[in-house]
A and B are shown apart, each in its own frame.
Chain A
Amino acid sequence: MTSAREEILARVHAATAEAVAPERPALAPSGPVDVDLFAERVADYEAVVERCAPEEVTERVAARVAGLRVVVPDGLPFAVAGSVADDGLVAADLDALDGVVTTATVGIAETGTIVLDHGPGQGRRALTLVPDLHVCVVRADQVVADVPDAVRRLDPARAQTWISGPSATSDIELSRVEGVHGPRTLHVLLTR
C-alpha cells in the first residue's frame, strides 16, 4: 500500500506538471523610517505610548509598575525594583502576577507593531502573555518603516510574537473591543 505521503506528492506532481511560476512585480521600495508615525500608530490601538530619554527608562518603568507584582526576564538591561525573576514559574504563577517588563527586537512604523523574538530581555513567550500588563521598552533605532523591512531584519528560526496593541476582538458585531486573553494593557516606552 502506498503511503499517504507518496500518494499526495504523486498527485501534486501530476497536477503541476505543466505549471509555471509567474514573474514577481517590482514593489515600491520602503520609505524613510518615521519614528513619530510609529508612536502615533501604536497609540491608535489604545496602547499607552510614552517617549523618554534612555537614561529615564528605569525611573519611568518604576513609576508605571509601582505597587504591582511584575515579572522580568533574564537579560533585561535595567533593574526593576521589587520585580520577580523568571525562574521556572508555571502558568498559574504567572497568572497570579500583575505584569511583565521587557524590551523588543523590532518596531514597525507603518502598522504600529512591536516584534519580540524572545531573546535576552524579552523572555519566553508565556511571560508576555499571561500577566495582564505588558510594559515594553522600544529603542528608536529598532523602528523600521514597514512590514517587509521588519521581515528582512528578523530571524525565521526564532519564535516570534508580533504585537499590535492590547489583545482585542472584533467578533461581536464586527466592532473592535480591547481586552480578551492577552495583556489588556500595553504600555510602550519609546526611547530616543
Chain B
Amino acid sequence: MQAPVGTTFVGMPAFPDAARDALGDPVLRHNLAHATGTIRDKRARVVAEVDDWEDLRVDGAAVKDTALADLGTHLLALESALTARGARVHWARDAAEANAIVAGIAKGHGVDEVVKVKSMATQEIGLNEALEAEGIAAWETDLAELIVQLGEDRPSHILVPAIHRNRAEIRAIFRDRMAAAGRPAPDDLTDEPAELAAAARLHLREKFLRARMAVSGANFAVADSGTLVVVESEGNGRMCLTLPEVLVSVVGIEKVVPTWDDLGTMLRLLPRSSTGERMNPYTSTWAGVTPGDGPQEMHVVLLDNGRTRALADEVGRQALRCIRCSACLNVCPVYERTGGHAYGSVYPGPIGAILNPLLQGPGSSAWVDSLPYASSLCGACYEVCPVRIDIPSVLVDLRAQVVDAKRIVPDVSAADSGVRPRQRPAAPSPQSLAMKGAAMTFASARRLGLAERFAGVGTSLARRLPWLPGVSAWAGARDLPQAPAESFRRWWRRTDGGRR
C-alpha cells in the first residue's frame, strides 16, 4: 500500500525539534493561552447544562462504533442512496486519486476557480495545492482559513486554523494581502473583531456570487438516507453549498453514521464540544440534488487515504470515531504550550498524535514516530472527548508499535501471525540497545550485583560528563538521582534483613 501523502507538511522536523522553536515564541504562547482558555470556559459552561452528558458521550461513541463495525454495508447504502438522489459517487484510495477526481470535474466544467467550505479532508489531501498546479484557484471562505491562506501560513488548530494569530496580526494580513486576492480591505480597517469579520464579508461576497463550483467536506454522511451534513458558523458554508452550479464533497469513509436519527445525539455533542455553543449558527443538510434549489450537479468523493489502515488497528480504530471538534486540543497542556505547527500536520494536538501514525503507519518516518511521545499522558483529552476516544491508551499502544518497528531482533512470531506487521530496522536505536542491556543485567543475579556496585560511579560520571554519547539526550532535560551508597541486596546480606 502506498503511503498516503498530503497529511504531512513537507520536510517537517520531528515533534521535539519543532516544539522547541514554538516554545521560544512569546506571542504565540500568549495567543494560544488566551484562546484555549476562552474556549475551555465556554465548553465547560454549556456541557454543564446537559444532565445526561456522560450518557450522550457513550451513545456518541456507540453511534460511530456501530457505523465502523459494519462500515462496508453502510458505505454501500450511502452510495446507493446518493446515486438514487442524483449525486455521482467516486471512490479514492489516496490523496492523489481524490485530487485528480476533483480537478477533473473542475476542468470538465472549464472553471478556473472554486470556492471552498472549511474541510479537514481536503486539507489532509492537499487539494488546494493540487488544484493550483492545474491552474485552478481554490478560495478558502472560512474566516480562519482565509487568514491562513492570505498569510501563506499553515493551519495550527482543527476548528480555528488561525488560532495562533491575534487581532493585530489578522488586521495586518488583511491590509497587506487582500488586494492581491480580490477586493482589498477597507483603508480605515481597525483590529476590532467585528470590523475584521465585516472586511471578510465584503472580500468574499464577490467570490460567492460569481463562483460556479464549490468544494466541501461533510461532518456526517447518513447512510440510510444519503444525507450529508455540514456544520458551520459564518454562512460561508451555506454560500458554497447553495449558490454554485456544481458541488463536490470530499468525505472520509469514517464520516458515515448509520441512520438519520443518529444525528440527534451527534448534533448535541458536536457544537458544545467544539465552539462551546448550545448550537452552531448554521447546519446544512442535503440529500443529493434538490430540483430548483442549490447545485444541480453533485459529486461525492469517498476517501480512504489511510483510514482502512487505522480501521485494521484494533486499539487505534477508535480514532476514526473522531468528529473533529478540537476539544482535545483546547485542554491539552502540551498543545497549549507548543501550538499546532509543532505537530507537523493538519491534525495537531492529542488527536493528531494518534491519527497521523494510524493513517501513515508507525515506522514510516521519524516525524510520525515522534508523535506518540508528544504527550504527558495526563488524560484530559479523553475526559473531554465527545465520542470517548481513549487517546492515552492509543498513544501507549502506538509507542509500543514505534519501539517494535525499531527492534534489534524482529519479533518473528508476531510478524508471522500477520496481526501487526513489524518492520525490520536498518540499525538499532540507542534506546533498544539500552533496553537489551538492561534485560541481560536483570536476568542474572551476578550481573545485577556488579551493575549495582558501579551504579554510584556511573551516575556521578554521567552528572559530570553530560556530553557523553547516549547520556546527553537523557540528561539534557532531567536531573539524575544520586544512587544510594549501598544497594538493597547488599544491605539485606549484611544485616540478614535487619535482624543483625
Contact = CB atoms under 8 A, between A and B. Distances in A.
A41 B271 CA distance: 15
Interface string A135-169: 00000000000111111100011111111111111
A159 B294 contact: yes
Could you say which interface size class chain B belongs to?
35 or more
A3 B290 CA distance: 30
Contacts of B95: none
A169 B197 CA distance: 8
A125 B294 CA distance: 7
A166 B292 contact: no
B75 interface: yes
A40 B290 CA distance: 34
A112 B308 contact: no
Interface stretch (A9-17, A50-58, A59-67, A98-106): A9-17
Nearest to A173: B35
A89 interface: no
Contacts of A164: 277-282
A11 B72 CA distance: 9
B284 A161 contact: yes
Interface string A108-136: 10111100001000001110011000000
A160 B241 CA distance: 12
Interface in B90-147: 91-93, 97, 141-144, 147
Interface in B287-333: 287, 290, 292-294, 302, 304, 308, 311-312, 317
Interface of A: 3-5, 7-9, 11-16, 19-28, 41, 44-45, 91-92, 95, 108, 110-113, 118, 124-126, 129-130, 146-152, 156-183
> 8 closest Cβ contacts across the A-B interface?
A182-B235, A148-B264, A156-B225, A181-B235, A11-B308, A180-B234, A162-B283, A111-B279
Interface of B: 31, 34-36, 38-39, 42, 51-52, 55-56, 58-59, 61-63, 65-66, 68-72, 75-76, 85, 91-93, 97, 141-144, 147, 160, 162-163, 166-167, 170, 193-194, 196-198, 200-201, 204-205, 208-209, 222, 224-225, 227, 233-236, 238-239, 241-243, 253, 260-261, 263-265, 267-268, 271, 275, 277-287, 290, 292-294, 302, 304, 308, 311-312, 317
